Amino acid sequence: MEQLKQNAVLVGVNLNHQKDFEYSMEELANLAEACDIEVVAALTQNLAKINSSHYIGTGKIEEVRALLEANDGNLVIFNDELSPSQIRNLEADLDCKIIDRTVLILDIFDQRARTREAQLQVEVAHLKYMLPRLVGMRESLGRQGGGVGTKNRGAGETRLELDRRRIEEKITALSRELETLTLHRQTQRKQRKKNDFPVVSLVGYTNAGKSTIMNAMLERFNPEQEKQVLEKNMLFATLETSVRSIPLEDNKTFLLTDTVGFVSKLPHHLIKAFRSTLEEVAEADLLIHVVDYANPEYERMIDITNRTLEDIGIKDIPVIYAYNKADLTEQAIPETLDNRIYLSAKRRIGIDELAGLISRQVFKDYIRCDMLIPYDQGAVVSYLNEHANILHTSYEEEGTRLALECRQSDYGKYEHYVVEPIEIEA
């Protein structure tokens, strides 16, 4: 059966003249587009407080109805999360499907989720959103004819007919399965910590270019690893956390993680559901905050990302700001200023400079020393050649002398070979 084309009217309330209101409405249109919805009209209202029964003033309901009729609209999308009674009242008065920003974002996440963990996280968030809204949704089942707001994995439309107890049971069962996957992720994290590689996390607004930076890093430093991540010019292209090893040319290796992008008014249920995924960020040694520098609203995007990181308890981690897409501006690239770098990941300009910034930050505890290793300890020399940055090698009567930079853990392991440095003639 062919799905009915969705033509939407967007509705937003500007509470007390919010600075970012226009941008949030523009973003709502982008979110709708990501769900293949055509935006046919938009209506906004300035209010001191949200109308508790209809979100907008009742006088505006007529205007919304007129916009629906004039543009063959069959869907109204509201810029904030609606209460169960607001959904019920609006559907009764407008006689069409009503969804809010939260449902829109949940639907995009639902479409993008690829791994079992991401699918479970989205499903739990969906069910928790629906739980208090069952009555309104049950009354409007006749209108839920496919499209955004009803696309759910598994149970599909029948989920709307589940009673509260069964939904609660399902949330419990899914949460239990999610816990198992979370424990597995924690085990992987512990294993990586044991390997003693620093972890660098890419964070930022959705579509800022995090995956492009990761792929550019892989291409430059680890081309043998054929694990490129999905890179697409769309909102929330990546939901899964990807972890890749980046070996630099001086035998220093760090792990680079790519996480879900942020967006303004990211639903509370989603932040909670994706908490285990975002724990990857919480345990990072360094954050690379990727910014779409070509976007006129980039400063607002930085603020939203920083606020979201604070909401999930991430603070006191050093940050490098990577101003991506700077080639689309007047800014010279590549350019590095303190903890900021201007680059173009797509054109692969500034990748070496970014790696240099990362290296100076995460390897500053490397120890420079001289070691004299007996000839019968060839395995130690091989290990250090592979895991340390060898600055100079010479062969003496007692053994192989290495001038090197190494991790503190390796220094502790082989400290008994450390000798006084000697001057090396140029």
Binding-site annotation, residues: 204-211, 238, 258-261, 324-327, 344-346
* Sheet of strand 286-292: strand arrangement: 242-247, 253-258, 199-204, 286-292, 319-324, 340-342, 335-337
DSSP assignment string, 31-91? HHHHTT-EEEEEEEEEESS-BTTTBS-HHHHHHHHHHHHHTT--EEEESSPPPHHHHHHHH
Q: Which amino acid is at 152?
A: N
Q: Which residues are annotated as a binding site for GTP?
A: 204-211, 258-261, 324-327, 344-346
- Sequence-distant (6+) residues with CB within 8 A of 250 are 359, 389, 405
Q: Could you say which DSSP state residue 416 is in?
A: G
Angle (CA) 270 271 272, round 5°: 90
- Give the separation between CA 169 and CA 158, rounded to whole angstroms: 15
The helix/strand/coil state of 128 is: helix
- Sequence-distant (6+) residues with CB within 8 A of 390 are 251, 384, 402, 403, 404
Number of H helices, E strands in the chain: 14, 15
Q: Which residues are annotated as a binding site for Mg(2+)?
A: 211, 238
From 399, 403, 398, select the one nearest 425 (Cα to Cα).
403
From 129, 204, 121, select the one nearest 160 (Cα to Cα).
129
Pair type for strands 340-342 and 389-395: unpaired
Q: What is the phi/psi pair of residue 122, to 5°?
A: -70, -40
- Give the separation between CA 376 and CA 417, rounded to whole angstroms: 13
The helix/strand/coil state of 338 is: coil
What's the gap between Cα 248 and its chain centre? 25
